[in-house]
């Protein structure tokens, strides 16, 4: 399962979530574990995460 990294726009907390691609695509919002805010953006790190699925 890929790990997705996020950064909170409110408190600048960086956190990562390990989600299946299906779960990632299903979820519209992600919550910051620190301030519980949902104003988070995806951060792309050096490793390659699978973001698309072809079946």
Q: Which stretch binds Zn ion (CB under 5 A): 9-17, 19-27, 41-49?
A: 9-17
Of these, 5, 13, 19, 31, which contacts Zn ion (CB under 5 A)?
Answer: 13
Which is nearest to 19 in space by CA: 48, 41, 51? 51
User: Is 1 or 38 the residue whose CB approaches Zn ion more closely?
Assistant: 38
What's the rounded Cα separation, in Å, for the pair 50 and 43? 13
Per CB under 5 A, does 41 bind Zn ion?
A: no
Which is nearest to 4 in space by CA: 34, 38, 47, 54? 47
Residues that bind Zn ion (CB under 5 A): 8, 10-11, 13, 32, 34-35, 37
């Amino acid at each position: 399962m890929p790990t997705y990294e996020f950064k909170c726009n409110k408190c600048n907390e960086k956190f990562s979530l390990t989600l299946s691609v299906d779960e990632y695509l299903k979820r519209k919002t992600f919550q910051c574990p620190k301030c519980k805010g949902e104003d988070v953006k995806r951060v792309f790190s050096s490793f390659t995460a699978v973001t698309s699925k072809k079946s």
